[in-house]
Structure 1
Amino acid sequence: MERNGRSKEFNMAVPKFLVQLPNKLQNCLKASDLSQIKRFAKHDGHLSLSSDVKRGKKALTFSDVDLEKQLQAWRENPSWADQHAEIKVSVPKGSLCNLKVNVNVGLPPDAVFNIVIDPDNKKVFKNIKEVISRKVLVDEGHRQVVELEQAALWRFLWWSGTIAVNVLVDQNREDHSMKFKQLKTGFMKKFEGCWTVEPLFVDEKACFPFKPKTWPEYCSCSGGKGRLGSKVTLEQLIQPAIVPPPPISWYLRGITTRTTEMLINDLLAEAARIRGDLGPEKSNKESEFSQDIFSEVDNISDIKRRWALRRRYARQYHRGFLTAN
C-alpha cells in the first residue's frame, strides 16, 4: 500500500511538472541588468567556472601570426580524422549538471574562434534558431563584451519550442577564450560557462627529438609545413530555478548532454567543410561527382533544406575522401 501511494503521488507530480515546463521555459531573460554589466566588464568577465583556466600563466597568442599562413599548411595536407568528444558530467549540489567537453579540431585557433564568436553562427549550430539582439558594450579590439539574446531550440518528451537566452559574453582573441553568463535569473537560476581554444601542434613528430613549445619554434623545426590545430574545451553549468526530482532530472541531464554533443559535432562539421574548401584540386572523377550532387541540391527551393543537404553531402564526401587516402 505504501509503495502504491508513493507511485500515485509521483504520477500526479510528473504531469504537473510537465504542464508547467513550457511556461517556465518561456519566462526566461528579457532585460539587462546595467550594474551587472559594469561588474562583468570591470572584472574582465571572469566566471565561477574559469577556475580551471590557469591564471598568472601567459597563454600562447598568435595575434602576430597570419591566419592565412597557418591555413596554407592545411591546404597542402588537409587530411584529418575527427575524434569523439570527451564529455564529463558532474552534478554539483543544487544544480542539474556541470558539463565539461574536450575535443581536438583540425583548424588553427583563430579559425575555430571565428566560428564560435560569429554573430551569424546559427548557420553552423543547429540549436540556435535566431539571434534576437546583439549589443557590443566594450570594444578593445582584441576583446569585446557583448550582450546577446538568442532563441534556442528545446525539446522535452512530446513538447518542443524555443527559449530566450539573454547572456553577457566576454570574448578575448588574445587567449582565444569566450566566457558567458546569464544576466538575470528566471527559469534558469544559473547558466554560465566558458569556451577555450588552445594550440595543438598536429605534426609535432616532424620535430623529433626537439619538442616545440611556441609557434615560432614549431614553424621553424617543421620547415613551415607543420599544421596548427586546436584543443577546444567547453564548460557550462546549468542550474534551473527548481531542480526536478529523479527520474525527470536524469532525463533532462541526458537531453542536455546530447544537446552539448550536437553543438560540438556541428563545430566539427563546419571545420571539415572549411578543410574541404582548403583542399587541393580534386580528380576529374571527384569533381564530376561533386558538381552533379551539388547541382541537384541547388535545385531545391527550400533554403533551409538546401543548406542542410549541402552540409550533409559535404561531410559524407569529405569522410569518403579521407578514407580513400
Structure 2
Amino acid sequence: MENQKPGNGVPLSFNKAIDFLGRIPQRLQSYMKTLENSRKGSIIGPISLADKEYASTYDASLTKQIQRWNENPEWVDQLPEIKVSVPKGSLCNLSVMFNVGLPPDAIYNIVINPDNRKVFKNIKGTISRKVLSDDGLRQVVEVEQEAIWKFLWWSGTFSVHVVVDQNRRNHTVNFKHIKSGFMERFEGYWSLQPLFVDKESCFPENPQTLADYEHCTRGKGRVATVVRLEQLVQPSIIPPPPISWYVRGITSKTTELLIQDLLAETAKLRNSINNKQEIAISNNISLDEEESIDLDDDPIYYFDDIKKKWHCRKR
C-alpha cells in the first residue's frame, strides 16, 4: 500500500522518521540527566514559576535586611525558657520559642547548612548526607550525624539518622528519625516566623504583612525572627526513675546548648557585618570593594549569591 503524502509530496513515513531522528539528541540528554540524578540518589522535580519568582526576590530582601541590621545592629538576646513535658510512652517533649536578631532567611540558611557543625558544637560530624528530592525551594534530605551530649561532668556521643524536609517558602524544617537504634523516636520541627522589630514607628498603624511594614517604616524597618523548636525524644528503652530524670536533663541541656550556639552565631554575624562597614568607611572603600573584605572567621553561609560567597572566601 502506497504511503500517504502531504502537500509537499514527501511520504508521511519519511517525515516521521526524520522527526524521530531529530528528537534523539534531546531524548538522550534527558535520559543522561535522569540517570545522573538517579546515580546521585536524588530526584530533581520541576521548579514552578511561583518558586522561581520567590527565589529571585528573597535574596534581594535578605540583602536589604542585612543592610538595615548593618545600619542599626542594636539588639539584646534573651535566653529562652525550655518547656519540658512527658507524653505517655516517651522520654520527653521539648518546646522552646525565642527571638533572634536576624531575618528568617538568614536563620534558615544557618539551620539547613550542610556544614552547620561549625555553628552547633553538639554536632561532632556528618556521617552521610543524601538529597532525596529537590524542587527548588523545598528539599528532602537524608542525614546521619554523630551528636555530642554533655551533662555536668559527663559527656558522650550518639548517632542520629533522620529525614529532613526543608521548605524555604514557609521557613520550616521538619525532621524525623528513620532507623532504630539508640533512638526509637526523634522528631520535631523548626519554625521561623518574621518579627517586625521597628513596629512602634508605625503607630497608630499595626502592620500585619511585610508589605504594610515596609510601607509604614518607609523601607527602613528591620525584620527579626521568632524561632520555635519542638522535639520529641524517645529512646529504644525508657529507663525508670531516677535514671529517666537524669537522661531527661541531658536532653534538655543538649537543646539549651544548641540554642545558645545559634544565638552566639547570630550575634557574631551582626558584629561581623558592622565591623566590615567600619573598616570600609575608615579606609574609604567603595561598596563594591567592600564585598571583597574578608575576616578570618566571617560566616559565609548566609549569602545566597555565589559571587558574594566567592568574595568572602577570597584572601
Structure 1 and Structure 2 fold alike (TM over 0.5): yes
Question: Which one has a bigger Cα radius of gyration?
Answer: 2
Matching of residue 114 in structure 1 with residue 101 in structure 2: no
Partner residue, 2:304: none
Deviations 1:107-147 (A, max 9, x none): 00000000000000000000000011110000001000000
Specify the code of the residue in structure 1 equivalent to 2:148. Answer: L
User: Cα 1:275–1:157, aligned 2, differ >3 Å: closer, same or farther?
Assistant: closer
What stretches of structure 2 of length at least 5 have no aligned partner? 1-40, 43-53, 283-295, 300-315
Partner deviation per Cα, 1:223-267 (whole Å, 9 max, x = no partner): 111100000000000011111111111111111111101100100
Question: What are the Cα deviations for residues 162-181 of structure 1, in whole angstroms up to 9, with x where unaligned?
Answer: 21111000000000000000
Q: Is the contact made by 1:105 and 1:231 (CA closer than 8 Å) also made in structure 2? A: yes
Q: Which residue of structure 2 aligns with residue 257 of structure 1?
A: 252
Question: Which among 270, 278, 283 is matched to residue 281 of structure 1?
Answer: 278
1:212 equivalent to 2:204? Answer: no
Task: Select the residue among 233, 252, 265 that pairs with 1:238.
Answer: 233
Q: Which of 45, 52, 57 is 1:64 aligned to?
A: 57
Instruction: State the distance in 1 between where 2:99 and 2:151 align.
Output: 30
Measured after TM superposition, the shift of residue 278 of structure 1 is: 1.8
CA shift in 2, pair 1:132/1:177, >3 Å: same
- C-alpha RMSD of matched pairs (Å): 2.6
Q: State the distance in 2 between where 1:162 and 1:205 align.
A: 46
Within-5 A mapping of 1:300-315: none
Structure 1 residue runs without a partner (length 5+): 1-36, 39-60, 285-297, 299-306, 312-325
Q: Which amino acid aligns with 1:119?
A: P
Confirm or deny that 1:166 pairs with 2:161: yes
Q: In 1, distance between residues paired with 2:208 and 2:57?
A: 16
- Compare relative contact order (CA 8 Å, sep 6+) and give the higher one, 1 or 2: 1
8 Å CA contact retained: 2:151, 2:253: no
Could you say what secondary structure the match of 1:64 adopts? Answer: helix
Counterpart contact for 1:63–1:174, Cα < 8 Å: no
One-letter amino acid of the structure 2 residue matched with residue 281 of structure 1: E
* CA–CA separation in structure 2 for the residues paired with 1:158 and 1:105: 30
What count of residue pairs does the alignment treat as equivalent?
231
1:297-322 CA-partner distances (Å, limit 9, x unpaired): x9xxxxxxxx8xx99xxxxxxxxxxx
Aligned to 1:83: 78
SS at match of 1:218: helix
Q: Give the whole-Å Cα distance in 2 for the aligned partners of 1:157 and 1:228.
A: 37
Q: Structure 2 length normalisation: TM-score?
A: 0.69
Residues 108 and 230 of structure 1 are in contact (CA less than 8 Å); yes or no, is this contact kept in structure 2?
A: yes
Matches within 5 A, 1:43-62: none
SS at match of 1:85: coil
Task: Provide the residue aligned with 1:319 in structure 2.
Answer: none
How much does 1:160 deviate? 3.5
SS state at 2:57 partner: coil
Corresponding residue SS for 2:248: helix
Paired residue secondary structure (1:224)? coil
* Residue equivalent to 2:191: 196
Which amino acid letter does the alignment assign opposite residue 267 of structure 2? A
Matched position secondary structure for 1:281:
helix
Of residues 144, 148, 158, the one that matches 1:149 is 144
Aligned partners of 1:63 and 1:115: how far apart in 2? 20
- Do 1:193 and 1:236's aligned partners in 2 also have CA atoms closer than 8 Å? yes
- Output the TM-score relative to the length of structure 1: 0.67
In structure 1, what residue type is equivalent to 2:226? Answer: K
Q: Which amino acid aligns with 1:91?
A: V
Quick check: 1:130 aligned with 2:125? Answer: yes
CA displacement at 1:159 relative to structure 2: 5.4
1:155: Cα distance to partner? 4.1
Matched residue type, 1:176: H
% identical aligned pairs: 61
- Given the superposition, is the C-alpha separation of residues 74 and 156 from structure 1 closer, same or farther in structure 2, using an over 3 Å criterion? closer
Report whether the alignment pairs 1:140 with 2:157.
Answer: no
